[in-house]
Amino acid sequence: MEMERTLSDSLQRHEKLAHAESWMVAVSGGVDSMVLLHFLIATKELHKKSIVVVHFNHQLRDQASEVDASWVENQCRILGVECVIGRGDVRSRARESRESIEMAARNLRYQFFAEQARLHNCNILVLAHHADDQWELILMRLMRGSGPGGLSGMSSFQSSANQHTLKLWRPFLGVDREAIVAYALECQFEWREDQSNKDLKYERNRVRHSLLPVLLGQFGDSAKNGMLRSAELIKVEHDFLLKEADQLEAKEDSLLDFKKLHKGLQRELMRRALIRLGVKPEFTWIERLRLALSGSFEMLPSGCLVKVLDRFPWLEQVKNHSDLEFENTSVEWVLNDISGYSSFSQCRFEWTIQKAEGTEFSYLSLKAEQEVFDADRIGQRILLRHWRAGDRIQPIGAPGSIKLQDWFTNEKIDIRQRRALIIAEAPGRGIFWVQGMRIAEAFKVTSVTNRLLLWNCLPSTSC
């Protein structure tokens, strides 16, 4: 009855559902999607719809993935509905795009759905997401620091990001998984269990199997209901913010002052400005640009130079700034002797290698412009150069690596200055020094260090 009620409510609220000639249903073979398929088939005559099933094989479980695809295809044959199977190499996509396996899988899957929607002239894609999926998603986004657009969760009816004419319909979004499983058992439906859903290397599985049981055990269903209610409140207020931003961008107000707008509006407008430039709207960049002075220039992670404006379109792409391009000059030298020097980019580098006398090296009387490294970790070759796109470093004391682009942003290094900074790299081993900043964690002196590399950088004019 609960599922029948939610289906009826959706059809009454959204005219496009009732007027569509066909519904395309995403079926993985799991209990959620199989119940959805059976449920829609049972009501299709009532609503005079044709149904097309789409199944995407992510090729992550070798033969098991192929077996699932064949099983779904066979079930559709028995049920008398059309079935289209898609395939994609998720691992290759993840390597090439530097996405997580989960994100690469999702992007390939929705590209396939959008393509099939065009081929079948169908603008309704039905998905089996339910209330437990919603709760998991909100928790994951909360831990990532998402804004209101993320914390409001999924919508029961919304446009697809891959094809705006395609509408995503989630009729079970208000139904618990427990109710869906009970319905499947009562009706004796068959389904497939995906063993990868228990693999804790995936974030969603860790939330589902490790975090949620603890929350439910400590706080019961009230925690779930409270979070879903908060998501609904956030969604309504976020919708209001979006409408305000729409109205503001539609005006040609010469008296508009971006800095006097509400902080929430500033963030939404700058988010849109980044998207228009094809840049992922990460919070760090939204804040940096929001707080930047009107008329200032910023180099975005994509390598796009923009000018910050005080009115729509908020950011303006700037071209022909050759002085701000990446500097490709470099010099490589070999540490064959116990000491030596070299010059690069108006600086003189002096170095000495000596035996370590324990982890304490205060006896060296290092000056401000000097550093000390584990010589054996660096090796014999050193490359001096400037910043390049994609450079990463793990600053000493940091828990992991970070893009130099992000590090410069966090340290508020001006875009011109960051291109002039000298970088020292141990080829094949990584960056170990950035001029004026912290050394790299992997090259620091430790209790097992045998040899020290003493490093001195001086302006060449002082030599």
Residues forming CATH 3.40.50.620 domain(s) in the chain: 2-226
Topology classification of domain 330-462: Phenylalanyl-tRNA Synthetase; Chain B, domain 3 (3.50.40)
Q: Helix, strand or coil for residue 45?
A: helix
Res 52: pLDDT? 95
Write the DSSP string, 159-170.
Answer: E-SS-TTSEEE-
| Cα–Cα dist 393/396, whole Å | 9
**Dihedral (CA of 201, 205, 207, 211) sign:** negative
427 contacts 334 by C-beta, under 8 angstroms: no
The whole-number pLDDT of residue 361 equals 54
CB 116 within 8 A of CB 93: no
- Note the pLDDT of residue 327: 66
- Please provide residue 383's backbone torsions phi and psi, each rounded to the nearest 5 degrees: -115, 120
Compute the distance between CA of residue 291 and CA of residue 285 in angstroms, rounded to an integer: 10
The CATH number of 2-226 is 3.40.50.620
145: which DSSP letter? T
Report the C-alpha gap between 210 and 228 in whole angstroms: 20
pLDDT for 320 equals 43
DSSP string, 249-315: HH---TT--GGGS-HHHHHHHHHHHHHHTT----HHHHHHHHHSPTT-EEE-TTS-EEEE-SSTTSE
CA of residue 331 relative to chain centroid, distance: 36
- Digit-by-digit pLDDT tens for the chain (463 residues) are 667 777 777 777 777 777 788 899 999 999 999 999 998 888 776 667 889 999 999 998 888 899 999 999 999 999 999 999 999 999 888 888 777 888 889 999 999 999 999 999 999 999 999 989 999 999 999 988 888 888 989 988 888 876 778 899 999 988 889 999 999 999 999 999 888 888 888 888 899 889 988 988 999 888 888 888 999 999 999 999 999 999 988 886 667 889 999 999 999 999 999 988 888 888 888 998 999 888 888 877 666 788 899 888 899 988 644 445 566 778 888 887 788 887 887 788 888 898 887 555 555 556 666 889 999 999 988 999 988 888 999 999 888 889 998 888 888 787 767 878 899 999 989 999 998 888 999 999 988 899 999 988 887 543 3
Segments of the chain assigned to CATH 3.50.40.10: 330-462
